[in-house]
């Protein structure tokens, strides 16, 4: 048992009747009566009992000391919510979240409620999306489900897409962002169902019989139907100001029709309607929260069951796994091996120190260090534990010896193999793997579609810059939305998603510049051959005009707003658009003649310039 004498340096808190000292990790002391602590926290109660039961040379004049991992500041704040003193609310949101997480860790339920009340009094829950995003990130970081759900409710009222969140994408890991997106999707789904029922019931009979010139398939008016439906898509529109704006717009559109009674709806009727609508919206959010918590509990129980099972299986299998040795491919003879490298799944590989040292400066330095006297050995050979699994190590070792190399048959596994080479400074092995992976015929198809996003996330996490650059271009051929990313969103770390979004926007800007250059006909250029089409709009001030069909092929207006919701234009795609357009314009002799003489070279030049525009942009790491 640890004890401490008085006077105490760094004394932060002292309460009359103190019989124990709490010591923070930064060596601050807090003298308190243990009765208050044990009544507030069953966890601290057990820790105090353990401390008091520990053997030691205690003296009656000395107080026992309980060492805790928290800082003195946090413990001081926490004690002010336990003892009858003025509570100290942390000055920042992050410190408040940390304080709540400590109270949660020590199972102080009543203290948590008291802290939440005081924090809310000092800083009301956020209504702005960016502030709520910051709060959600902190709540996830400190494991505070209540605060996370509260912030998620605010965030889900706003549009949830990559374009709107671009500047905040690096605020949290992809796993947290995925949970937030799924929560938002649940909110919209349940809101849509409940609001549809609300409309069909005549807004719970609050607006039944209202005469309006806008008919509706439900029991309410047409404009009100539209407003209620809009809330499911954008819950932020659930606001009296938005409701009043919708009503005013309706009255303005139908101001000449005296038969519409919407302008004279009694104030009390509007109040009744709003209370009914408010109850539906609130109930929908609560329903999502209940579902979310229920799913979380199910997941935790499942993990606990799997954990218990795995413990039993590990005890049974561990010895056989340690003793197993994976043979290298024939005709390699490892009879004179002088080192064992062990995989994360406990498979031993017999290798030569000299081979490892020659291929890797990392291993050269490691193996040059003196071997500890208590280090593990098998059959007299020293063992080096590595973090890679047996399959990956088997591929890696096969590359180091003059035997047929074992290159994985999936791009994702190749990425992990490249990452291992990078980790161990195996530059030659890394170059060899890249060459073999791209050798024709290919061992596997390169990532495309949704798998390209997953491959980018892995390459980004592992710092594989060449692979990031290659795979980033492949993502351009797919929409980049949360729906497209799906479960793959969990793989993204830190700023990877934001960097990929900005890479996409730079590619978009380059493509637009390219298309604009083909719309310029003032000076001789590739598109000037089309000037003279009879169906083109009338020239202004003798300015040459391109045919309408060609302007539509080269149009980029949608590209500016659809950069994330649609694939970016490809050379083959622009050719297909061109051919479809000229075939539709088959009644124009001028354009058909130009197409027959110069169309092939024109579209080839357009494809070449578009390809250059896409390839000119690089990720932020090159």
The more confident residue out of 220 and 78 is: 78
The more confident residue out of 301 and 577 is: 577
Residues 161-203 have pLDDT tens digits of 898 888 888 888 888 889 889 999 999 999 999 999 988 887 8
What the block records as the tokens of 556 is 């980029």
CATH of 3-124, one of 3.60.20.10, 3.30.70.20, 3.30.710.10, 3.60.20.40: 3.30.710.10
Q: How much is the pLDDT for 319? A: 41
- How far apart (Å, rounded) are the C-alpha atoms in residues 426 and 359? 6
| Predicted model pTM | 0.80
Q: How much is the pLDDT for 55? A: 63
Kindly state the percentage of the chain with pLDDT values over 90. 53
What the block records as the tokens of 459 is 């390459």
Closest CA to 476 of 570, 616, 606, 571: 570
Question: Rounded mean pLDDT of 250-259?
Answer: 69
Residues 303-328 have pLDDT tens digits of 444 433 333 343 344 344 444 554 44
- How far apart (Å, rounded) are the C-alpha atoms in residues 568 and 504? 9
Closest CA to 452 of 434, 433, 479: 479
What the block records as the tokens of 229 is 């439906």
Residues 81-139 have pLDDT tens digits of 999 999 999 989 999 999 999 999 999 999 999 999 999 988 888 888 889 999 999 99
Q: How much is the pLDDT for 521? A: 79
Local confidence band at 343 (pLDDT 50, 70, 90 cut-offs): very high
Q: How much is the pLDDT for 575? A: 95
Q: How much is the pLDDT for 258? A: 66
Q: How many CB atoms lie within 10 A of CB 64?
A: 18
- Contacts of residue 463, defined as CB under 8 A and 6 or more positions apart, other chains included, come to 419, 422
Q: How much is the pLDDT for 249? A: 87
Mean confidence (pLDDT) of the chain = 85
Tell me if 453 sits within 8 A of 488, measured CB to CB: yes
Residues 105-116 have pLDDT tens digits of 999 999 999 999
Distances (CA, A) of 179 to 283, 440, 505: 21, 41, 25
Question: 179: helix, coil or strand?
Answer: helix
What the block records as the tokens of 7 is 């006077």
Give CA angle at 484 (479, 490), nearest 5°. Answer: 130
The more confident residue out of 264 and 311 is: 264
Q: How much is the pLDDT for 323? A: 45
Q: In what order do the strands lie in the sheet with 20-23?
A: 3-4, 63-67, 20-23, 29-32, 11-14
Residues 23-79 have pLDDT tens digits of 999 999 999 999 999 999 999 999 998 888 766 544 344 889 999 999 999 999 999
Residue 234 has pLDDT above 70, yes or no: yes
What the block records as the tokens of 213 is 């010139």
Q: How much is the pLDDT for 333? A: 56
What the block records as the tokens of 470 is 């290659």
Residues 381-405 have pLDDT tens digits of 999 999 999 999 999 999 999 888 8
The more confident residue out of 437 and 46 is: 46
Question: Rounded mean pLDDT of 569-581?
Answer: 95
- How far apart (Å, rounded) are the C-alpha atoms in residues 57 and 156? 59
Q: How much is the pLDDT for 394? A: 92
Residues 587-617 have pLDDT tens digits of 999 999 999 999 999 999 999 999 999 999 8
- How far apart (Å, rounded) are the C-alpha atoms in residues 49 and 30? 18
Q: How much is the pLDDT for 171? A: 83
- How far apart (Å, rounded) are the C-alpha atoms in residues 196 and 194? 5
Cis bond before residue 331 (omega within 30° of 0) = yes
The structural domains of the chain, with segments of one domain joined by +, span 3-124, 183-296, 506-616
Burial 461-493 (b: 16+ CB within 10 A, else e): bbebbebbbbbbbbbbebbbbbebbeebbbbbe
What the block records as the tokens of 390 is 């047996």
Residue 301 has pLDDT above 50, yes or no: no
The top-scoring range by mean pLDDT among 7-16, 437-446, 489-498 is 489-498
The DSSP symbol for 171 reads: G
Q: How much is the pLDDT for 86? A: 93
End-to-end, the C-alpha distance of the chain in Å comes to: 58
Q: How much is the pLDDT for 551? A: 92
Question: Rounded mean pLDDT of 448-473?
Answer: 92
Q: How much is the pLDDT for 35? A: 93
Q: How much is the pLDDT for 309? A: 37
Question: Rounded mean pLDDT of 251-270?
Answer: 76
Total residue length of the chain? 622
Tell me if 556 sits within 8 A of 512, measured CB to CB: yes
């Amino acid at each position: 048992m640890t004890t401490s004498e008085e006077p105490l340096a760094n004394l932060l808190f002292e309460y009359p009747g103190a019989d124990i000292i709490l010591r923070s990790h930064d060596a601050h002391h807090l003298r308190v009566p243990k009765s208050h602590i044990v009544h507030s926290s069953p966890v601290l109660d057990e820790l105090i009992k353990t401390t008091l039961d520990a053997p030691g040379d205690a003296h009656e004049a000395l107080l026992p000391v309980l060492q805790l991992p928290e800082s003195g500041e946090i413990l001081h704040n926490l004690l002010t919510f336990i003892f009858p003193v003025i509570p100290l609310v942390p000055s920042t949101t992050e410190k408040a979240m940390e304080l709540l997480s400590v109270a949660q860790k020590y199972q102080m339920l009543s203290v948590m409620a008291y802290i939440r009340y005081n924090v809310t009094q000092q800083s009301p829950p956020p209504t702005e999306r960016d502030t709520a995003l910051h709060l959600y990130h902190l709540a996830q970081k400190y494991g505070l489900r209540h605060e996370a759900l509260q912030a998620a409710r605010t965030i889900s009222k706003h549009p949830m897409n990559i374009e709107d969140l671009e500047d905040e994408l690096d605020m949290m890991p992809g796993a947290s962002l995925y949970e937030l997106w799924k929560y938002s999707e649940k909110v919209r789904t349940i809101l849509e169902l409940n609001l549809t029922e609300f409309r069909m019931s005549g807004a719970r009979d609050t607006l039944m019989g209202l005469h309006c010139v806008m008919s509706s398939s439900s029991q309410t008016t047409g404009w009100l139907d539209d407003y209620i439906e809009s809330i499911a898509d954008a819950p932020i529109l659930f606001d009296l100001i938005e409701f009043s704006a919708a009503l005013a717009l309706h009255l303005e559109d139908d101001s000449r029709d005296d038969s519409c009674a919407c302008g004279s709806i009694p104030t009390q009727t509007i109040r009744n309607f709003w209370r009914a609508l408010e109850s539906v919206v609130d109930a929908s959010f609560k329903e999502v929260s209940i579902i979310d918590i229920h799913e979380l509990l199910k997941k935790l129980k499942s993990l606990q069951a799997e954990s218990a099972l795995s413990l039993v299986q590990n005890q049974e299998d561990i010895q056989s796994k340690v003793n197993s040795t994976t043979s290298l491919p024939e005709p390699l003879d490892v009879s004179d091996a002088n080192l064992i490298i062990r995989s994360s799944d406990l498979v031993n590989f017999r290798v030569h120190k000299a081979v490892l040292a020659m291929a890797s400066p990392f291993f050269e330095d490691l193996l040059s260090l003196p071997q500890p006297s208590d280090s593990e050995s098998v059959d007299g050979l020293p063992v080096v534990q590595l973090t890679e699994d047996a399959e990956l190590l088997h591929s890696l070792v096969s590359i180091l010896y003059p035997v047929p190399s074992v290159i994985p048959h999936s791009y994702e596994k190749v990425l992990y193999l490249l990452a291992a080479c990078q980790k161990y400074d195996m530059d030659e092995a890394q170059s060899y793997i890249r060459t073999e992976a791209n050798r024709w015929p290919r061992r596997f198809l390169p990532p495309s579609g949704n798998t390209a996003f997953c491959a980018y996330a892995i390459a980004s996490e592992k710092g594989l810059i060449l692979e990031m650059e290659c795979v980033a271009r492949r993502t351009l051929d797919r929409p980049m939305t949360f729906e497209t990313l799906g479960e793959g969103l969990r793989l993204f770390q830190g700023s990877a998603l934001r960097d990929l979004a900005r890479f996409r926007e730079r590619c978009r800007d380059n493509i637009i510049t390219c298309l604009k250059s083909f719309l310029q006909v003032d000076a001789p250029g590739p598109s000037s051959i089309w000037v003279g089409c009879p169906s083109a709009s009338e020239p202004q001030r003798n300015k040459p005009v391109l045919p309408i069909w060609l302007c539509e092929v080269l149009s980029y207006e949608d590209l500016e707003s659809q950069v994330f919701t649609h694939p970016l234009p490809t050379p083959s795609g622009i050719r297909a658009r061109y051919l479809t357009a000229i075939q539709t314009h088959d009644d124009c002799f001028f354009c058909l003649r130009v197409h027959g003489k110069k169309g092939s070279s024109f579209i080839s030049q357009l494809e070449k310039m578009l390809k250059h525009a896409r390839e000119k942009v690089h990720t932020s790491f090159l």
